[in-house]
Every structure is written in C-alpha cells, then in structure tokens.
C-alpha cells in the first residue's frame, strides 16, 4: 500500500483540521513520568485533538505478571473511540513528540479494535510545529458521555508468553526486540527488574526506522533493511516485542509501511516475560 495509507504529513493534516471526517489523537507520554503527556498536551496541541493516556486509556490493569502496559479491553477502547466521534468511515490521526514511539501503539490498538483508517502524523508534534501548524492550549476536546460500543473484531494478530516460549526452537518465529542495544544485551535495565532479552531474538532499535528529523524512512528503504533482517522469512513468521509492548509496534508499523504485512505483536513483551523466573533469559 502507498505511504499515505499509513502516514500523513503536517501540511496535509493542517488542510483537514476542519474536516468532520477526521479525528486527531495526542498520545504524548513519558515512561518515567506518567503525567508528562497530559501536561504537554495542555501546554499546546493540534487544534481539536483528543488526549489519550498511555497509562490509562491505552492500557489495561496490571497484575504483576502481565507486563507494564497490558492491552486494554477492546470494548472499552471502542466505546471511548465512539465517544470521541470516531467511526468506521472516519480517519484517525495519532501523534506524539518522540519519533512516533508512542503513536505506533495507538495506531496498532485502533487497528486491533477494528479501525482500518488510522494514520500517524509523520514526525509528530515537532514536525507540526516546524511546519508552522496551528496550536491550542488548555484541556482541549473531551469525549462525549455515553456507553455505546462499536464492534470490536481482533484485526491485528498477537501471541502470548506461552506461545513465544513454545516457539523458542530453530523452526520457531523470528523475534525482533525493539529496545535500545544496551537493554537488549542486558547491560542496563532502567524499567524492569531483570536485564537481558528473549533467547534467539535479534535487535532492531526503533531509531533505525527513522531519519535524522524523526520521520519514518522511505518505505523502499525500510523494506530493504527488514528483508535483510528477515533472511527470507515471511512477515507472518515475525514476532515483535520491546519492554512493555509499546515500541514493539514501531517495528511492526515500519514493516507494514514497507509492504511486509502480517507480523505479530507480543503485547506483554519483556516486562511480562521476565516476571516469571522459569522463562529463559539471554545476555550478551
């Protein structure tokens, strides 16, 4: 599919701000400060954008064994999207300010909940400001009241920790770890109690998907790089993970953008994996 099926440029979005068929979502977040995203949104955001919290709206309850950002309930998420005015015939645009590291999670979740028309603002808030995009401050748009729900077919594949464990064989899927190299190698771990990676996983930090301006590399370049990493494997034979299932979506999105569709997300990711001492850990 063409790149415009996945990304929207700042000037194109600016021209559609008054379009009632477009809904915009600000998903800025800081893993070390859960309140930072809301503060940034209130300081300034794309006019008409709704704020979605990664720690609340885009995540479910933690149990101590299901990772730091479990998937939300699909019905609850669908109901929220409907209260924001999103329907099957409307376009959702998501953005953050960190190389789309959080926007990709919102993109994946909306696709998972059955919304096919979802785009990421290429370059995020920084690109918007650099292009002279309009801004508004304050609490911003508020979802309407109401318990209505949309149908929630699971439109994006996932795999459980048990499935990943069962696949740790030479014939199993290719695991791609999206964390920075020091975390992947187990040299440091600022967020989880155990350092390391799932045995057999290869590392592709999300920065590898971006150019120097924090925008996604061209699809043809991404395809070449991922094909070199896959060594002939089909996209459906690839499982993505990270620390808690957020930035893993970055590599998954980049593969989709590159025309390599069908790879799988391990939502619990490392934070779930390392919660069970019986699961194997690799360090380099």
Residues belonging to the active site:
242
Q: How many beta carbons lie within 10 A of that of residue 281, not counting itself?
A: 15
What is the spatial distance between Cα 95 and Cα 24, in angstroms, rounded to a whole number? 8
Contacts of 220 (CB under 8 A, 6+ apart): 258
Cα dist from 113 to 119, 153, 155, whole Å: 15, 6, 7
> Of the candidates 91, 112, 99, which has an alpha carbon nearest to the alpha carbon of residue 8?
91
């Amino acid at each position: 599919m063409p790149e415009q099926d996945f990304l929207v440029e700042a000037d194109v979005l600016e021209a559609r701000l008054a379009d009632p068929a477009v809904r915009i979502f600000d998903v800025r977040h800081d893993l070390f400060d859960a309140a930072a995203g809301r503060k940034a949104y209130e300081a300034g955001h794309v006019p008409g954008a709704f704020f979605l919290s990664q720690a609340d709206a885009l995540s479910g309850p933690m149990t101590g064994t299901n990772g730091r950002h479990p998937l939300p309930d699909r019905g609850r998420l669908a109901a929220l999207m409907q209260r924001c005015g999103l329907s099957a015939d409307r376009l959702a645009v998501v953005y953050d300010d960190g190389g789309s590291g959080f926007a990709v999670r919102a993109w994946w979740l909306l696709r998972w909940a059955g919304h096919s028309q979802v785009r990421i603002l290429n370059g995020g808030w920084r690109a918007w400001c650099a292009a002279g995009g309009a801004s508004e401050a304050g609490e911003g748009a508020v979802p309407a009241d109401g318990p209505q729900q949309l149908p929630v077919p699971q439109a994006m594949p996932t795999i459980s920790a048990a499935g990943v464990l069962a696949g740790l064989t030479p014939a199993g899927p290719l695991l791609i770890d999206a964390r920075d190299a020091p975390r992947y190698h187990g040299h440091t771990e600022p967020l989880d109690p155990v350092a390391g990676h799932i045995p057999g996983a290869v590392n592709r930090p999300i920065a590898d998907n971006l150019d120097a301006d924090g925008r996604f590399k061209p699809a043809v370049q991404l395809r070449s790089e991922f094909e070199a990493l896959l060594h002939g494997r089909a996209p459906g034979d690839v499982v993505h993970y990270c620390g808690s299932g957020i930035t893993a979506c970055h590599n998954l999105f980049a593969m989709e953008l590159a025309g390599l569709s069908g790879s799988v997300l391990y939502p619990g990711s490392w934070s779930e994996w390392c919660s069970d001492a019986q699961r194997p850990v690799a360090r380099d």
